[in-house]
């Protein structure tokens, strides 16, 4: 079974803090993704990575950056957290031999920025 883990289930930070969200997958997947999920807005793609050290902007990259130094790990960085970044953050990976684009999600991190 694919396992995608995220560093925290719940996180509370203050405005202006630098925030790191980490995601690890154990299936040797090529692709990793960061989404945020807000009520009524569905899943919105922030960034994704298709290889180590490679990244591409998604639909809402402003205010975020990412890092992929190792294949199994994809980090989302909020350089200076703001209250409008309070949200559920979901990491996903894909690259299965059977179905290359099926995504497997982590449990999510609910971030509150005060």
Partner 1 sequence: GQQVMQIPQYQHVQEGEDFTTYCNSSTTLSNIQWYKQRPGGHPVFLIQLVKSGEVKKQKRLTFQFGEAKKNSSLHITATQTTDVGTYFCAGPGTQGGSEKLVFGKGTKLTVNP
* Beta carbons within 8 Å of 107's beta carbon, 6+ residues apart: 5, 6, 9
Nearer to partner 1, 48 or 64 (CB): 48
Tokens found for residue 110: 């609910």
Distance CA 13, CA 73 (A): 22
106 binds partner 1 (CB under 8 A): yes
Q: Does 107 bind partner 1 (CB under 8 A)?
A: yes
3-state SS, residue 104: strand
Site for partner 1 in 14-73 (CB under 8 A): 30-31, 33, 40-43, 45, 48, 50, 56, 58
Binding interface with partner 1 (CB under 8 A): 30-31, 33, 40-43, 45, 48, 50, 56, 58, 90, 92, 94-95, 99-108
């Amino acid at each position: 079974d694919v396992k995608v883990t995220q560093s925290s289930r719940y996180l509370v930070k203050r405005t202006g803090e630098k925030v790191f969200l980490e995601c690890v997958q154990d299936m040797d997947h090529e692709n990793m993704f960061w989404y945020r999920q807000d009520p009524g807005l569905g899943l919105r793609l922030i960034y994704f990575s298709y290889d180590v050290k490679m990244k591409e902007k998604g639909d809402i990259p402003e205010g975020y950056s990412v890092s992929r130094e190792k294949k199994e790990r994809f980090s989302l960085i909020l350089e200076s957290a703001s209250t409008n970044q309070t949200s559920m953050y979901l990491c996903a990976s894909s690259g299965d031999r059977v179905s290359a684009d099926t995504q497997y999600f982590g449990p999510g991190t609910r971030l509150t920025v005060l």
